[in-house]
Structure 1
Amino acid sequence: MSKFNLKNTLIAGTAAGVISGLVKLGWENILPPRTPERDKVNPPQTLLQQLGVPAKLTQATYTYSGQQLPWVSYLVHFGFSISFATAYAALLEKKVKLLTLGEGIPFGIAVWVAFHLVIMPAMKTVPDAKDQPFEEHLSESLGHAIWMWTNHEIADEVLRQLKK
C-alpha cells in the first residue's frame, strides 16, 4: 500500500473543490433550489448571521456585468466544496473503498441528507425537511450527487497524475 501523501491530497482536493463548486453553481442556475424570496438571505448568509457575523458583511456584494453578486456566499460555497473535496480526496488516497463506491454519488447524497435534511434544519438555517418544497429537494439531492461525482472524477485524476 502506498504512503499517504498530504500534499497530493490537498492539491487534488483544492482542484476538485473549485471545479465542482462551479458545477454546483451552474446546476443551481438550471434548477434553482430556493424561491427568490427564500434566496434573498441564502443559507450561507443565514448561517454566518446565526454565528454573529453582521448582515452588512454577509450581504456584501460585488458588481459584475451590471449584477450584484454575493461574494461572501461564494466564499462559504467554495470553502465547503474544497473542504469536502479534500476529505474525499483523502479517502481516495487512503483507498477507502466503502466510502468512495459509486464514484462519489452515494457520498454526495449522504452530504445532502446530513446537511440539508438534518443539520441545517436543526440549526434553523433552513426550514425543516418536511417544509422544504419538492423543487428544493430535487435540486439539492441531484446537485449534490453531481457535485460529488465531479469531485471524484477530478480528484481521482489529479491524484493519478501526481503519482506519475
Structure 2
Amino acid sequence: MSFWKNQPVHLAAAIIAGGAAGIVSGLVKLGWENVLPPRTEERDATNPPQTLLQQFGVPAKVTHATYHYSGHALPWVSYVIHFGFSTTFAVLYQIIGEKLPWIKKDAGTWFGLAIWIAFHLGIMPAMGTVPSAKDQPEEEHVSEALGHIAWMVTNDLVGAEVYRRLVAEKNK
C-alpha cells in the first residue's frame, strides 16, 4: 500500500459517498449501543451529545427535546449531533482515504479506534463532557472501542462502494 495515491479525488463523489456511509454507519452505531450499551441508565439520562450542547449554553429543554414514535420518546437533538458527527467523519475519511490509502488500512479499523481514543479518552474527558478515561467503566470502553470499529468498517464498506459506483457512472 503506497503512502500517497496519485489519482485525482472526485470530490463530489467522495462527499456523497461519505455522506451516505455516515448515515448508514450512524444507524449501525445506534444499533450497536442497543446491544452493548456504553453507559449506565443514570449516565445516559443526559448523554454526551446533550452534555456537550449544555456546555455550550443550550438549555436542557432543547437538548432533551424528543419526538414520539411507537410509544417511545426519542431524543432528536442527540440524533442530530450523532449523525452530524458520523457523517462529518465519514466524509473526511472518504476524501482523505482517496489520497492517503494507509488511512483505510484494515477497512478503517485503526481509524475508528483512533477516533475513539481521541474523543472518548481525550477530548471529551478534557472538556468535562464525560468522566476521565480511568473513571469510565470497563464496559463503556469495550462498547465504545468495538462500536467505533463497527462504525468505521461500515463507513469504509459503504463509502467505497458508493464512491466506486459514482466514479464509474461519471466515467461512462
Alpha-carbon distance between aligned partners in 1 of 2:155 and 2:40, rounded to the nearest angstrom: 27
Alpha-carbon distance between aligned partners in 2 of 1:23 and 1:69, rounded to the nearest angstrom: 17
- What do residues 64-84 of structure 1 show as CA deviations (whole Å, max 9, x unaligned)? 111100000000000000000
SS at match of 1:68: strand
Mapped pair 1:13 → 2:24: no
- Which residue pairs with 1:22 in the alignment? 27
Shift of 1:2: 2.9
**Given the alignment, which residue of 136, 139, 148 partners 1:132?**
136
**Given the alignment, which residue of 144, 148, 151 partners 2:152?**
148
Matches within 5 A, 1:77-156: 77-94=82-99, 96-156=100-160
Matches within 5 A, 1:21-40: 21-40=26-45
SS at match of 1:79: helix
Contact 1:93 1:159 in 2 (8 A): no
4+ aligned runs moved over 6 Å, structure 1 = none
Contact 1:91 1:100 in 2 (8 A): no
Alpha-carbon distance between aligned partners in 1 of 2:97 and 2:110, rounded to the nearest angstrom: 14
- Which residue pairs with 1:159 in the alignment? 163
- What do residues 79-109 of structure 1 show as CA deviations (whole Å, max 9, x unaligned)? 0000000000102322x12211111000000
TM-score by length of 2: 0.93
- Which residue pairs with 2:3 in the alignment? none
Alpha-carbon distance between aligned partners in 1 of 2:157 and 2:93, rounded to the nearest angstrom: 11
Q: Which runs of 5+ in 1 are unaligned?
A: none
- Tell me the C-alpha RMSD between the 2 structures: 0.8
**Given the alignment, which residue of 57, 74, 80 partners 2:79?**
74
Mapped pair 1:57 → 2:62: yes
Shift of 1:112: 0.2
> May I ask how many residue pairs the two structures share in their alignment?
163
SS at match of 2:42: coil
Alpha-carbon distance between aligned partners in 2 of 1:24 and 1:2, rounded to the nearest angstrom: 32
Contact 1:24 1:147 in 2 (8 A): yes
Contact 2:10 2:167 in 1 (8 A): no
Contact 1:14 1:82 in 2 (8 A): yes
SS at match of 2:58: coil
Shift of 1:5: 1.7
SS at match of 2:73: strand
- Which residue pairs with 1:4 in the alignment? 9
